[in-house]
Structure 1
Amino acid sequence: MTTGSDRRLMVQADKPADFEEFYRATWPRLYRTALAVAGDAATAEDALQAAYARAYASWRRVRSAEHPVAYVRRIVVHEVVSTRRRAWTRRERPSASPPEPADRAAPSTASPAEHKVTEHDAVWRAVLALPVRQRAIVVLRYYEELSEEEIAAVLGCARGTVKSQASAALANLRRHADLNIEDLT
């Protein structure tokens, strides 16, 4: 006869295998989402690490949720947004290469495919320049293809807040004169 403590040990023995399978299946997509919201790999990786640690700690609840991936995605986005609020993250960050001076624009001899890549890069640079909450909404809406209701649930805010922040984000993106908003989709 098994006791309550024996059953808890059996459930905990299954926990690592279930969690490991979940982790391997979801990490690539959640990393891309975290990277798009965070804007840099280090912050994305830190947010994912914290989110998966929280998910592991409450694995029974996560596993039994209607949409476990959405549950963890919410943790990841909250982690990125809350990290961006902390003062120490607003310090200057090193980059792989210095920015190009604006006056070095030369006539383009790029192919149409190269222009598309350049336009896509310009869109993502503009998205990365958005405030983190607006960026999260743009990423969740156009990259994750979530509805306004789903985004509100992920961010823990009202649907109206999502709509107003999305509108503000698109207005910010439109300010870039050479930016085609349709490149987001």
Structure 2
Amino acid sequence: MPFEDFAAARLPALLRYAVLLCGDPELARDLVQESLIRALVRWKRISRLDRPEAYVRTMVTNEFLSLRRRKVIKTVALTYDALDGPRAPITQGSTRGEAPGADPRGELWERLVTLPRQQRVVLVLRYYEGLSDGEIADTLGCRPGTVRGYASRALATLRVELTGQPVLSMGEKP
């Protein structure tokens, strides 16, 4: 598949993914643009991979994770409008990997942008992209156990922030 066809087909999904990572539509466009420029240069090799879209998504993820090292970014609260509408109807018992009953306009998505970057990436890849822990580990270059640890800490943080209830240790009574 020529690069132009790949980019045209995957651009909307990559932009939505990047917006969820950084919470800023303008920064998301920059992340995707930088990643696609790098992918174009390497397209001959990337196009031969079994899943070139996974490789380019990893490039977007790495671009996002390296932002702090290169420049200062501002945090912007994620809004529903920034997503250009939901990727698919989000309903109880969704089969696409979304958190059941999640509302991208709700408080959960506003809190997502406050999480540390690695934790945010894990939750977005797990619940938005529907990837397994193994696939997330491949994207981040770590072990599946590390992915589960990031997810656990992120979900515990969100639980405390959204409910006000502290996370209990094993054997501790409420």
What TM-score, normalized to structure 1?
0.70
Match of 2:20 in 1: 36
Q: Structure 2: how far apart are the matches of 1:118 and 1:164?
A: 24
Q: Which of the residues 19, 42, 46 maps onto 2:30?
A: 46
Match of 1:133 in 2: 118
Q: Structure 2: how far apart are the matches of 1:157 and 1:117?
A: 27
1:177 Cα shift? 3.5
Is 1:57 the counterpart of 2:33 in the alignment? no
Q: Structure 2: how far apart are the matches of 1:172 and 1:39?
A: 18
How many residues are treated as equivalent by the alignment?
142
* Structure 2 unmatched runs, 5+: 78-100, 165-174
Match of 1:172, as an amino acid? T
**Conserved in 2, the CA contact under 8 Å of 1:84 and 1:132?**
no
Q: Structure 2: how far apart are the matches of 1:77 and 1:86?
A: 15
Compared CA separation, residues 64 and 94, structure 1 to 2 (3 A): closer
Match of 2:4, as an amino acid? E
Is 1:166 the counterpart of 2:144 in the alignment? no
Match of 2:109, as an amino acid? W
Compared CA separation, residues 58 and 93, structure 1 to 2 (3 A): same
Compared CA separation, residues 138 and 64, structure 1 to 2 (3 A): same
Residues 49-128 of structure 1 aligned to structure 2 (within 5 Å): 49-86=33-70, 88-89=72-73, 92=74, 120-128=105-113
1:56 Cα shift? 0.3
Is 1:157 the counterpart of 2:163 in the alignment? no
Is 1:176 the counterpart of 2:154 in the alignment? no
Compared CA separation, residues 128 and 145, structure 1 to 2 (3 A): same
Give the CA RMSD over aligned residues. 2.4
Match of 1:26 in 2: 10
Deviations 1:109-164 (A, max 9, x none): xxxxxxx8978420101111111111000000000000000001111111111111
**Conserved in 2, the CA contact under 8 Å of 1:43 and 1:80?**
no
Match of 1:55, as an amino acid? A
Q: Structure 2: how far apart are the matches of 1:93 and 1:35?
A: 12
Match of 1:5 in 2: none
Q: Report percent identity of matched pairs.
A: 40
Does the residue aligned with 1:142 lie in a helix, a strand or coil?
Answer: helix
1:59 Cα shift? 0.4
